[in-house]
């Protein structure tokens, strides 16, 4: 809090924050001072000249003049009014096409101001220059830029630079020709724009406007269904359709900001392709059926497959309540721990690794606090593409002078902003991180006090550093050691320093080791237990954290309580009234392998699409083809649903109540915005109906809220969570009791391990399972596009997103492209030991020589047919980030 | 597509936003104008967004975004030349070269532009062809000078 001072405002004495500007004080006292280029999210610019006021008799722009003690501010003198009127008129005459009486009316800030100051259209005529007819730029599928209405306040330019960090647009040309643009002769779509719409949201003149905008009848506040950032979002409804989305400003996870998927990616909900009725396979084809027929069939077939013949694959896109019900159904009704979900394929090493070292496998900090870090080390995360809103916190940290180290085999967008960009070989993370730690220890940059008082096993760890000498690290990573040493110093010398990572760390046969290396690094420098430091695995899906928390994992009940522990099992047996299996069940890949070489005869596949998402996807398809009975519960007929015996149409996130837990452990409300489409039903209803028809009890819930009550009673970290408490803003677990305020950052005092200490783990470098050779000379690494999500079942049903990115691209370095005689746009065939895929090539220096990259969003080019299912021995995650391939022209 | 390797040009400058204008000048000197790709390369080198490179470049009249002819003809429109009939010199050049002010001949030999003042008012009316000044011109002299060259 800055000190208070007294000032005089239009003659009355008021108290003001010493750090405030004149405009802020005036607005705070409900005194309207016209302003156009000011926005509370942006730094003051003072370019529109509308906010002129008198301070001690001198005319100043209020938005960028700080208040001083005793200042006499007048906003109402004739001089102010006269000058202001002139300023407004000069803006209005350049606001072509828009007059004071224009149809935008109150929606246009300039229009509102014009009326406020009493601008007169008749007076404007003589100033108005002949209309410049500048072409409207409608190249972006989601919004339109009409330069005629633009008065060059620069809010869009500053938003893109200050908040988004992209700076796709700027003022271009000069004098009367000045406009907003990106490059000579280029349209908006050709710029670096990421289509987030933040500029459109802030444009005060209607120059930037949402294309085809429909005013909603009302809005419902819920949580975005896409990535783990977990943004609060107001969805606007008209009839039974969702027509708009707006960020929730009070939500600390996003503070009102949204990315392109969050703001524009909701139209899949009303897609005509939604599944609206149950389907049953009859004579080889899926045919429409009634709910009774479908549910009775499922209940009968599941009844015959109780025990280890059954497996459920839950979903990180379902609510906590639904994941809880699915694992309860598997364990209590089906009598097996064979329940897993796609976290196995993304962050299982985070859970396994961080539990070993810290005792808890979740992001330690809050998203918002990352913006206050003095150093951010982003390794194996393409944050601006996969977690755009956390990407904004990285930008905030940089703007405040924080250092950014980016380590990634690909030259991702963040590299442009980095103080240091380390382009290490895919899969060499342990060597890189251990090399950094050796430098830190040798140069005495570590934190002996923290290590001594909070950690254990340091000596053994320190010994293991010796083998990471300069030459070894350089050889494994392909990075000059001097650069690695510089990164080590930068990370160690700027505290608090936060490590951010995602799939680049986890999707390896040594994914758990990679995770342990990050936690070693954070402990070594005392960067754990502080608000803006820590180790921060960025979770990929809206509720992947929650699905793990809810025990949709084969070895733990909700709250990571181990199934082997008799006292834990007894607690759940009593609560659920059933005998429970004491052996951990099968993991995701083991379930599918269990069809071809094991006991699995029935699979309950909910909200997942292994046909595209599973490493070595051909095998996954074979397993789904072969399994006796496959139930697929989804909102669309996915590639996997085509193998189903029964397809159950689920309600989307916007058609049901519940909670999601985002990557920063914040449990937030998901609300029913519209009624379920067609005959679709919530996943919770479907699972409970199946259980009921199998004669089970314990599935008679009246609401999602009631399910949460049962969860809270059995899950210590959710003990204090109720729907009531998280009505407006979520709570971060651990939240053990109803009076607990939630936990902003983890491990402040102790680690939740026996003894309370964090554990250093010595690490040995292991190469990826598959390395390039003569036959398969290139490395394939997988990535994600900003415009699509997972297997794109939702995003590809949003026409605008499909426009922005409509096909797979094989990104290849110019050097390799020349050797293979490939140009951008050529059709190429990529072959691995497991299969082949065709797509168009994109020659780019973003891919390092010797490495190509592809997403896995497009069913026409199913990249995971190529990837290697060899898995990490601890976490059993497949090595989707590295496999050997060859590329040739198709 | 032929892209000139700009590394030798760029490497003379520090990789900082402050290098932006000198970088643009050096690139233009090298290529004759600022093609979009080159501005992208400059953006990367100076660590600034691509849009800012164009924003800055398009603010100054010294930067060009279209290729220019091998011979850049600049007609002085300073006060002395104006009084001396620069308007007629320009018109004659437009007729003789077959292009308008701001354009380049199809064979990329000539481009035609005007400048505010060359700074040799004693020689008015005058033009420059690349950096050579032609002094005390008349439309006839212009016609002769360029007609011969065009043949």
DSSP symbol at A146:
-
Contact A170 B65 (CB under 8 A): no
Strand order in the sheet with A375-379: A420-422, A403-407, A375-379, A497-501, A535-537
Q: How far is B151 from chain A (nearest CA, A)?
A: 35
Phi, psi at residue A780, to the nearest 5°? -105, 125
| Residue B54 near residue B35, CB atoms below 8 Å | no
Contact A183 B50 (CB under 8 A): yes
C-beta neighbour count of A2 within 10 angstroms: 9
Contact A184 B36 (CB under 8 A): yes
Q: Which residues of B touch A174 (CB under 8 A)?
A: 58-60
Phi-psi region of A413 (alpha: psi -120 to 50; beta: other; left: phi over 0): alpha
Within a domain: A271: no
| Residue A782 near residue A853, CB atoms below 8 Å | yes
Q: How confident is the model at residue B57 (pLDDT cuts 50, 70, 90)?
A: very high
C-beta neighbour count of A379 within 10 angstroms: 24
Q: Which residue, among A90, A114, A86, has the nearest Cα to A102 in the 3D structure?
A: A114
What is the rounded distance in angstroms from the CA atom of residue B109 to the CA atom of residue B86? 22
- R_g over Cα of chain A: 29
DSSP-derived pairing of the beta strands A758-759 and A778-782: unpaired
Establish how many alpha carbons lie within 13 A of residue A139's alpha carbon, considering only the half-sphere containing its beta carbon.
11
Q: How confident is the model at residue A127 (pLDDT cuts 50, 70, 90)?
A: confident
- The secondary structure of A43-76, three-state, reads CCCCCCCCCEEEECCEEEEHHHCECCCCCEEECC
A residues 168-187 closer than 8 Å to B (CB):
168-174, 181-184, 186
The stretch A697-709 carries a mean pLDDT of: 95
Q: Which residue, among A790, A866, A816, has the nearest Cα to A225 in the 3D structure?
A: A790
Q: Using DSSP, state whether A21 is helix, strand or coil.
A: strand
Q: Which residues of A touch B59 (CB under 8 A)?
A: 171-174
Domain boundary among A93, A124, A155: A124
Within a domain: A369: yes
Contact B59 A174 (CB under 8 A): yes
What is the rounded distance in angstroms from the CA atom of residue A532 to the CA atom of residue A373? 5
Q: Which residues of A touch B65 (CB under 8 A)?
A: 184
Task: Please name the CATH architecture into which domain B71-150 falls.
Answer: 3-Layer(aba) Sandwich (3.40)
Residues A203 and A317 in one domain: no
| Residue A651 near residue A635, CB atoms below 8 Å | yes
Domain CATH number, residue A863 = 2.40.40.20
Q: How confident is the model at residue A99 (pLDDT cuts 50, 70, 90)?
A: low
DSSP-derived pairing of the beta strands A758-759 and A851-854: unpaired
Q: How far is B25 from chain A (nearest CA, A)?
A: 17
| A795-831 residue pLDDT tens | 999 999 999 999 999 999 999 999 999 999 999 999 9
What is the rounded distance in angstroms from the CA atom of residue A662 to the CA atom of residue A666? 5
Q: Which residues of A touch B47 (CB under 8 A)?
A: 416
pLDDT at A2 over 60: yes
The string of DSSP codes covering A417-445 is G-SEEE-PPTT-HHHHHHHHHHHHHHTT-
What is the rounded distance in angstroms from the CA atom of residue A842 to the CA atom of residue A824? 4
Within a domain: A883: yes
Tokens of A513: 């080791």
Say if A191 is an interface residue toward chain B (CB within 8 Å): yes
Percent of chain A residues past pLDDT 90, beyond the cut: 89
Residues A390 and A295 in one domain: no
Number of domains in chain A: 5
Percent of chain A residues past pLDDT 70, beyond the cut: 98
Residue A185 has what pLDDT?
82
Total H helices, total E strands in chain A: 29, 37
Domain, as residue range, for A60: 4-124
Within a domain: A235: no
- A594 alpha-carbon distance from chain centroid: 32
DSSP-derived pairing of the beta strands B127-129 and A809-812: unpaired
Say if A167 is an interface residue toward chain B (CB within 8 Å): yes
Q: Which residues of A touch B44 (CB under 8 A)?
A: 416
Q: How confident is the model at residue B2 (pLDDT cuts 50, 70, 90)?
A: very low
ipTM of the prediction greater than 0.90, yes or no = no
Contact A186 B36 (CB under 8 A): yes
Burial class (CB in 10 A: 0-12, 13-18, 19+), A265: buried
| A12-63 residue pLDDT tens | 999 999 999 999 999 999 999 999 999 999 999 999 899 999 999 999 999 9
Residue from the list A167, A173, A184 with its beta carbon closest to the beta carbon of B52: A167
| Residue A151 near residue A159, CB atoms below 8 Å | no
| Residue A830 near residue A768, CB atoms below 8 Å | no
Say if B47 is an interface residue toward chain A (CB within 8 Å): yes
Q: Which of B49, B53, B59 to mutate to test the interface with A (most CBs of A within 10 A)?
A: B49
Closest-CA residue in chain A for B37?
Answer: A183
DSSP-derived pairing of the beta strands B71-76 and B110-115: parallel
| Residue A92 near residue A124, CB atoms below 8 Å | yes
Q: How far is A221 from chain B (nearest CA, A)?
A: 35
Percentages (nearest 5) of helix, strand, coil residues in chain B: 50, 15, 40
Contact A416 B47 (CB under 8 A): yes
The string of DSSP codes covering A485-537 is HHHHHHHHHSSSEEEEE-HHHHSSTTHHHHHHHHHHHHHHTT-SSSTT-SEEE
Residues A409 and A338 in one domain: no
Residues A702 and A559 in one domain: yes
Q: Using DSSP, state whether A561 is helix, strand or coil.
A: strand
Domain CATH number, residue A511 = 3.40.228.10
Residue A37 has what pLDDT?
93
| Residue A652 near residue A245, CB atoms below 8 Å | no
The stretch A178-204 carries a mean pLDDT of: 92
More confident residue, A159 or A133: A159
Closest-CA residue in chain B for A193?
Answer: B51
C-beta neighbour count of B91 within 10 angstroms: 15
- Per DSSP, what are the bridge partners of residue A717? none
More confident residue, A501 or B151: A501
DSSP-derived pairing of the beta strands A827-832 and A809-812: unpaired
What is the rounded distance in angstroms from the CA atom of residue A339 to the CA atom of residue A714? 18
Q: Which residue, among A302, A689, A364, A349, has the nearest Cα to A497 in the 3D structure?
A: A364
Q: How confident is the model at residue B67 (pLDDT cuts 50, 70, 90)?
A: confident
Cα separations (Å) of A615 from A482, A510, A835, A868, B125? 36, 16, 11, 6, 76
Q: Which of B1, B43, B51 to mutate to test the interface with A (most CBs of A within 10 A)?
A: B51
| B21-48 residue pLDDT tens | 999 999 998 888 899 889 999 998 898 8
| B79-118 residue pLDDT tens | 999 999 999 999 999 999 999 888 888 888 999 988 888 8
How far apart, in Å, do the first and last CA atoms of chain A sit?
Answer: 64
| Residue A735 near residue A720, CB atoms below 8 Å | yes
Residue from the list B39, B44, B48 with its beta carbon closest to the beta carbon of A183: B39
What is the rounded distance in angstroms from the CA atom of residue A387 to the CA atom of residue A539? 9
- Per DSSP, what are the bridge partners of residue A179? A172
What is the rounded distance in angstroms from the CA atom of residue A252 to the CA atom of residue A366? 9
pLDDT at A114 over 90: no
Residues A690 and A547 in one domain: yes
What is the rounded distance in angstroms from the CA atom of residue A679 to the CA atom of residue A293? 14
| A502-556 residue pLDDT tens | 999 999 999 999 999 999 999 999 999 999 999 999 999 999 999 999 999 999 9
C-beta neighbour count of B28 within 10 angstroms: 18
The stretch A89-94 carries a mean pLDDT of: 85
Residues A481 and A407 in one domain: yes
DSSP-derived pairing of the beta strands A883-889 and B127-129: unpaired
Residues A378 and A508 in one domain: yes
Contact B58 A172 (CB under 8 A): yes
Residues A383 and A529 in one domain: yes
pLDDT at A100 over 60: no
Domain CATH number, residue A205 = 3.30.70.20
What is the rounded distance in angstroms from the CA atom of residue A877 to the CA atom of residue A342? 10
Residues A447 and A577 in one domain: no
- Per DSSP, what are the bridge partners of residue B63? none
Say if B39 is an interface residue toward chain A (CB within 8 Å): yes
Residues A571 and A694 in one domain: yes
Residue A6 has what pLDDT?
92
Tokens of A854: 């592809």
Within a domain: A727: yes
Domain boundary among A699, A732, A765: A732
Residue B1 has what pLDDT?
35
Residues A696 and A548 in one domain: yes
Q: Which residues of B touch A416 (CB under 8 A)?
A: 44, 47
Within a domain: A334: yes
Q: Using DSSP, state whether B95 is helix, strand or coil.
A: helix
> Which residues, at least 6 apart from A702, have a Cβ–Cβ distance to it below 8 Å?
none
Q: Which residue, among A413, A26, A36, has the nearest Cα to A205 in the 3D structure?
A: A36
- Domain edges within chain B: 7-59, 71-150
Within a domain: A744: no
More confident residue, A128 or A506: A506
Q: How confident is the model at residue A840 (pLDDT cuts 50, 70, 90)?
A: very high
C-beta neighbour count of A564 within 10 angstroms: 12
What is the rounded distance in angstroms from the CA atom of residue B89 to the CA atom of residue B94? 9
Domain boundary among A210, A229, A255: A210
* Secondary structure element (H or E) that encloses residue B21, with its range: helix B20-31
The stretch A365-390 carries a mean pLDDT of: 96
Within a domain: A756: no
Q: Which residues of A touch B102 (CB under 8 A)?
A: none
- A734 alpha-carbon distance from chain centroid: 21
Residues A109 and A155 in one domain: no
Q: Using DSSP, state whether A312 is helix, strand or coil.
A: strand
Q: What is the largest CA-CA distance in chain A?
A: 88
């Amino acid at each position: 809090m800055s000190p208070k001072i007294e000032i005089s405002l239009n003659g009355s004495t008021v108290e003001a924050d010493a750090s405030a500007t004149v405009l802020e004080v005036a607005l705070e006292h409900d005194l309207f001072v016209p302003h156009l280029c000011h926005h509370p999210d942006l730094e003051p610019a003072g370019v529109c000249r509308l906010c002129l006021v008198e301070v001690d008799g001198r005319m100043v722009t209020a938005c960028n003049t700080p208040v001083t003690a005793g200042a006499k501010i007048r906003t109402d003198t004739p001089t102010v009014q006269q000058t202001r009127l002139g300023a407004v008129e000069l803006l209005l005459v350049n606001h072509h096409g828009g007059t004071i009486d224009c149809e935008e009316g109150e929606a246009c800030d300039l229009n509102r101001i014009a009326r406020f100051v009493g601008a007169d259209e008749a007076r404007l005529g003589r100033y108005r220059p002949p209309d410049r007819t500048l072409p409207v730029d409608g190249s972006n599928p989601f919004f339109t830029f009409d330069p005629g209405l633009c008065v060059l306040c620069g809010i869009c330019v500053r938003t893109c630079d200050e908040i988004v960090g992209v700076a796709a647009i700027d003022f271009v040309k000069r004098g009367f020709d000045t406009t907003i643009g990106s490059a000579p002769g280029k349209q908006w779509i050709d710029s670096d724009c990421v289509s987030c719409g933040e500029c459109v949201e802030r444009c005060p003149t209607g120059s930037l406007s949402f294309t085809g905008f429909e005013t909603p009848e009302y809005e419902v506040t819920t949580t975005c269904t896409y990535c783990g950032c977990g943004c609060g979002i107001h969805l606007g409804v008209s009839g039974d359709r969702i027509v708009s989305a707006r960020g929730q400003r009070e939500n600390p996870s996003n503070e009102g900001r949204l990315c392109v998927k969050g703001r524009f990616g909701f139209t899949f909900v009303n897609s005509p392709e939604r599944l609206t009725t149950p389907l049953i396979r009859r004579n080889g084809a899926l045919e429409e059926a009634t709910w009774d027929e479908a549910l009775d069939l499922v209940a009968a077939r599941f009844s015959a497959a109780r025990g280890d013949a059954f497996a459920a694959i839950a979903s990180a896109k379902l609510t906590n309540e639904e994941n809880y019900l699915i694992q309860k159904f598997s364990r209590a009704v089906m009598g097996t721990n064979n329940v897993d979900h796609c976290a196995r394929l993304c962050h299982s090493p985070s859970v396994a690794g961080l539990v070993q070292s810290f005792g808890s496998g979740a992001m330690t900090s809050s998203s918002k606090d990352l913006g206050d870090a003095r150093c951010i080390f982003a390794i194996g995360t393409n944050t601006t593409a996969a977690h755009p809103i956390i990407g904004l916190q990285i930008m905030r940290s940089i703007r405040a002078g924080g250092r950014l180290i980016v380590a990634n085999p690909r030259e991702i967008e963040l590299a442009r902003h980095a103080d240091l960009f380390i382009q290490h070989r895919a899969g060499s993370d342990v060597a890189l991180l251990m090399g950094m730690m050796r430098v830190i220890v040798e140069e005495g940059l570590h934190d002996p006090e923290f290590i001594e008082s909070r950690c254990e096993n340091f000596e053994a760890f320190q010994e293991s550093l010796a083998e990471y000498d300069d030459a070894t690290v350089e050889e494994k990573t392909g990075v000059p050691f001097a650069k690695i040493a510089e990164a080590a110093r930068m990370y160690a010398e700027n505290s608090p320093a936060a490590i951010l990572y995602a799939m680049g760390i986890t999707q390896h046969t040594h994914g758990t080791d990679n995770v342990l290396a990050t936690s070693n690094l954070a402990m070594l420098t005392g960067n754990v237990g502080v608000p803006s430091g820590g180790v921060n695995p960025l979770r990929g899906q809206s509720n992947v954290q929650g699905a793990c928390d809810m025990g949709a994992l084969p070895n733990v009940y909700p709250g990571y309580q181990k199934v082997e522990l008799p006292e834990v099992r007894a607690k759940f047996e009593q609560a659920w009234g059933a005998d429970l299996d004491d052996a951990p069940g099968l993991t995701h890949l083991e379930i599918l392998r269990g069809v071809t070489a094991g006991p699995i005869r029935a699979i309950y596949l909910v909200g997942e699409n292994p046909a595209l998402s599973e490493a070595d996807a051909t095998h996954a398809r074979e397993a789904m083809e072969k399994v006796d009975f496959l139930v697929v519960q989804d909102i669309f007929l996915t590639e996997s649903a085509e193998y189903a015996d029964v397809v159950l149409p689920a309600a989307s996130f916007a058609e049901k109540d519940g909670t999601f837990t985002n990557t920063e452990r914040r449990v937030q409300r998901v609300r029913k915005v519209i009624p379920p489409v067609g005959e679709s039903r919530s996943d919770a209803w479907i699972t409970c109906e199946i259980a009921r028809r199998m004669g089970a009890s314990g599935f008679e819930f009246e609401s999602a809220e009631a399910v949460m009550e049962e969860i809270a009673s059995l899950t210590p970290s959710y003990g204090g969570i109720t729907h009531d408490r998280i009505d407006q803003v979520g709570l971060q677990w651990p939240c053990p009791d109803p009076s607990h305020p939630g936990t902003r950052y983890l491990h402040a005092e102790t680690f939740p391990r026996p003894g309370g200490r964090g554990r250093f783990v010595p690490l040995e470098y292991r190469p990826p399972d598959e390395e390039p050779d003569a036959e398969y000379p290139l490395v394939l690494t997988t990535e994600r596009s900003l415009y699509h999500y997972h297997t794109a079942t939702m995003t590809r049903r949003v026409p605008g997103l499909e426009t922005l990115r409509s096909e797979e691209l094989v990104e290849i370095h110019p050097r390799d492209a020349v050797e293979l005689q490939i140009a951008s746009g050529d059709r190429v065939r990529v072959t691995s030991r497991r299969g082949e895929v065709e797509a168009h090539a994109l020659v780019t220096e973003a891919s390092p020589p010797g490495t190509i990259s592809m997403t896995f969003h497009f069913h026409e080019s199913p990249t995971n047919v190529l990837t290697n299912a060899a898995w990490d021995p601890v976490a059993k995650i497949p090595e989707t980030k590295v496999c050997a391939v060859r590329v040739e022209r198709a | 597509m032929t892209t000139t390797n700009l590394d030798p040009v760029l490497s003379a400058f520090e990789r900082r936003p402050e290098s932006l204008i000198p970088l643009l000048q050096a690139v233009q000197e090298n290529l004759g104008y600022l093609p979009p790709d080159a501005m992208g390369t400059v953006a990367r080198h100076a660590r600034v967004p691509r849009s800012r490179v164009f924003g800055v470049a398009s603010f100054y009249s010294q930067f060009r975004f279209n290729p220019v002819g091998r011979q850049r003809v600049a007609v002085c429109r300073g006060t002395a030349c104006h009084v001396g009939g620069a308007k007629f010199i320009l018109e004659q050049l437009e007729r003789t070269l077959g292009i308008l002010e701001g354009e380049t001949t199809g064979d990329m030999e000539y481009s035609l532009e005007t400048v505010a003042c060359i700074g040799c008012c004693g020689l008015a009316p005058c033009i420059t062809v690349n950096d050579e000044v032609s002094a005390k011109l008349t439309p006839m002299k212009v016609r002769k000078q360029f007609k011969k060259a065009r043949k």
